[in-house]
Structure 1
């Protein structure tokens, strides 16, 4: 078709740029966006709430490595989406949100879904939020989004198009460019200087974040070559093999890890912001020079006078380092004591077991039962807080959590998006009893799609983390106990499977069955399972 309504042309444009799935909810204001979805050959996943659609797009993006796309309506549709967009911003996830908007708001009042400034509201949680007032503007902004997804630190973006503009006839979008811009490349001089510094150091320490996952294949060789120790952020789990002798695990949040950092005479932080939710203290604790490798220059604002910044894709730098070192030297002997590393890990494991009794045996049982390529989506729950510190992932980028923004309700819809992105591969949702209720209605979507999705619910009947915080602050626990529904009966009402294991063996059996079921299964877990 030479011309058709812009809403249909947008879907066709997205298809030509590799989009195969859109998450959303149709409404009278954005109905024109739905005109071309089937024509373009795109699958639409119907969420039960726009928040669910946003988390699904987020989960899809994390699992597929492609941008997630969400369609929502004017006003409340977009405001419901803001929480997922804020989470995607915090966790560097590429999500393209496209909403309708009113044609005119300054001289008219009382319109359906009217907001004072919808575009500005979205801008608070996105890299940018713009309104396209013509077809050409819409096409330009969509390609701008895909260019930025490919070349910079991933962030969500929002595009709004007025109702009249969506329905107006428009020519087809231009064909996609043959190549998108790439991420910044490190200068050879920077790589050589980094290699020299690491080889000269007596106790180098690598800190790997989620941004290092693309270079995971080079990391074992790099650590062996340099004799360096390593520690990872929660998002960086899986980039270092669990059996690496000088690997401190994902224990940056342990207060004693500051002493480890202080022992190093060089710290190399790769693909991490070293944010509050990585450390839970003001600084890493190091006194030695630090070299930071990142694609986001904002990560360099707190560098000291002896520190160095390398603006580059972390994966490229890690691979270049491994090649450069191989060409210059044999593997160096370990510069840390493996026995001391093991002692620290054992101590931290015991601390976590004492802080959150009953959780670690359940973690161990789940790890045994899950295939190596399982992708896990967790919520803000005590179970996940403990697991993130002790559960060494066999692959990078396979455990996703709402870091930073820290929203409840993430796990279930994000896992749905992840399962859609990886058909035939195992995906698991892990939620607490309170957080699950934020988005439990998305069970309907999982049932409709027939996803073999285990939904593990850690049910302690209260906001356990908040209760513990109140006790530590000498506040009498208040408003931390809520009446829970019968989760198993609720799951069955949606058409999902439901089971409550009575032992760890039963849990493993239930989990394996859920991974091959013809729909989602809610599995209620309690501390009593561990005996």
Structure 2
């Protein structure tokens, strides 16, 4: 007999799933029946929030869905925060959970892990949440999930299997091949209209979001063809490489870039929500688009949110860019073009505006020189906020963090572990603060167990420094922000990590190089004091 759970594992393996993140529990024991006989690796975090964050980091690096096994009830309420972050940032995660027996659903009799409706609870942070009520539904629902991941807006999907079905006989269910699946192609008439507008533009602007990651080479060709200064969202960082003559960085919240955006006569926005946490991190409503706006997005519902376009093209980013390039003249990238000169002028002004961040700029110079090929996974912390503006890299999927969208704390440590599992060859630097690290501190043991030698660069200001500053600015007496800070070096060593406190930039560079060559995880503590930061 092949149980439902064994069938599930066999089907996932047939679709090239190689890793599952999960914590076994009394309600998911049956799900684990097929895993030991498969080629799928199982990684055990220490909290269900860690399950979701690890799957998120894995998905952002690979572009493939991160797959989770999760227990009924508290497991699902715990993982909901991670799904909220993934939902906001369009990250593909598949959560397979158990749920109480079909005959017990919704009765409120106090069964173990019972919720009034687990599916409805999770539906708000997923593209869809489905309860499998018969074995025959499972192949179809799995296909729907992977169809969404491959061609739609890739957000989390939740599938729950009742306990009375998990170990039922599923020998009759077929192992399916993923069908050849097309992507959403643009309307040729609208492409022609967009190309006509762009060819007539005197002050074009290109806005690029995370939806363009898979098409980054085409984006570079498009920017050159349009001779358009280009701003990338935080999730799109690296799509234009460091030093690109048309690059504006991720500085849409700074005055020089805002001025350029307001003066642009035609704006092309691709794969971006045009949302607050990418374009208005100062939260003053100052980012304006006054010109003709053309939007391209794989999600039709997103096309009219935040900024209403003149032309709205529901389409896959790469297919739309290919269609546009066919109607635009080929252009050789030049540092002397009008667009490059416009971008250079703005970069110079931005550099002047960021002079107050010289300490952080030097810090990142040290890090990037010591680990030139690193990926960076960030929490909500000062090094991440500044790095979003300061750091430019040579490729996508190398810089992502939880300061965008949902904005959760505790993300970076488990997400960095997931990123390292996805790409063991590249150094992975976790940028996190002392407050955020304490949210998911237990995942330090997961890193050792999973053989994921990440590097945690801990920015220690002995509390919730950003919130304390905000309280003072709003004339609120600081309360609850000066928290007890443990001795992180001792804790890390207790988990089996290497740990040290950097004394200066030269010492930090040495520690980073050593950590990049280590086979065990490393914590490097950097205190928010001189020489790393100058007191205001």
- CA displacement, residues 86-106 of structure 1 (integer Å, 9 cap, x when unaligned): 111001011000111111134
For the residue of structure 1 that corresponds to 2:120, the secondary structure is helix
Structure-2 separation of matches of 1:201 and 1:337: 15
**What is the CA distance between 1:9 and its match in structure 2?**
1.4
Structure-2 separation of matches of 1:412 and 1:94: 19
Structure-1 separation of matches of 2:285 and 2:440: 33
- 8 Å CA contact 1:226–1:331 kept in 2: the answer is no
For the residue of structure 1 that corresponds to 2:2, the secondary structure is strand
Counterparts in 2 of 1:422 and 1:303: CA distance versus 1, 3 Å? closer
Query: What are the ranges of 5 or more consecutive residues in structure 1 without an aligned counterpart?
Result: none
Counterparts in 2 of 1:451 and 1:287: CA distance versus 1, 3 Å? same
Instruction: Show the 5 A alignment for 1:359-508.
Output: 359-372=360-373, 374-402=374-402, 403-508=404-509
Counterparts in 2 of 1:331 and 1:90: CA distance versus 1, 3 Å? closer
**What is the CA distance between 1:426 and its match in structure 2?**
2.0
More divergent stretch after superposition (465-474 vs 495-504): 465-474
Structure-2 separation of matches of 1:521 and 1:54: 23
**What is the CA distance between 1:408 and its match in structure 2?**
0.4
Instruction: Show the 5 A alignment for 1:276-425.
Output: 276-280=276-280, 281-282=284-285, 284-302=287-305, 307-326=310-329, 334-336=337-339, 338=341, 341-354=343-356, 358-372=359-373, 374-402=374-402, 403-425=404-426
Would you say how many aligned residue pairs link Structure 1 and Structure 2? 525
- 8 Å CA contact 1:195–1:325 kept in 2: the answer is yes
Structure-2 separation of matches of 1:396 and 1:437: 29
Question: Is 2:206 the partner of 1:206?
Answer: yes
More divergent stretch after superposition (345-354 vs 479-488): 345-354
- CA displacement, residues 429-449 of structure 1 (integer Å, 9 cap, x when unaligned): 111110011111111011112
Structure-1 separation of matches of 2:35 and 2:386: 42
Counterparts in 2 of 1:508 and 1:320: CA distance versus 1, 3 Å? farther
- 8 Å CA contact 2:420–2:452 kept in 1: the answer is yes
Instruction: Show the 5 A alignment for 1:46-445.
Output: 46-103=44-101, 104-107=104-107, 109-171=109-171, 173-280=173-280, 281-282=284-285, 284-302=287-305, 307-326=310-329, 334-336=337-339, 338=341, 341-354=343-356, 358-372=359-373, 374-402=374-402, 403-445=404-446
Structure-2 separation of matches of 1:502 and 1:26: 42
- 8 Å CA contact 1:274–1:284 kept in 2: the answer is no
- 8 Å CA contact 2:215–2:317 kept in 1: the answer is yes
**What is the CA distance between 1:62 and its match in structure 2?**
0.8
Query: What are the ranges of 5 or more consecutive residues in structure 2 without an aligned counterpart?
Result: none
**What is the CA distance between 1:377 and its match in structure 2?**
0.7
Structure-2 separation of matches of 1:312 and 1:107: 44
Question: Is 2:34 the partner of 1:33?
Answer: no
Structure-2 separation of matches of 1:50 and 1:33: 16
- 8 Å CA contact 1:210–1:397 kept in 2: the answer is no
For the residue of structure 1 that corresponds to 2:295, the secondary structure is strand
More divergent stretch after superposition (341-350 vs 117-126): 341-350
**What is the CA distance between 1:172 and its match in structure 2?**
5.3
For the residue of structure 2 that corresponds to 1:530, the secondary structure is coil
CA-atom RMSD in angstroms: 2.1
More divergent stretch after superposition (301-310 vs 358-367): 301-310
**What is the CA distance between 1:518 and its match in structure 2?**
1.2
Structure-1 separation of matches of 2:485 and 2:351: 31
For the residue of structure 1 that corresponds to 2:431, the secondary structure is strand
- CA displacement, residues 32-75 of structure 1 (integer Å, 9 cap, x when unaligned): 00000121221100110111011011111111111111101110
**What is the CA distance between 1:14 and its match in structure 2?**
0.8
- 8 Å CA contact 2:122–2:158 kept in 1: the answer is yes
Structure-2 separation of matches of 1:409 and 1:305: 35
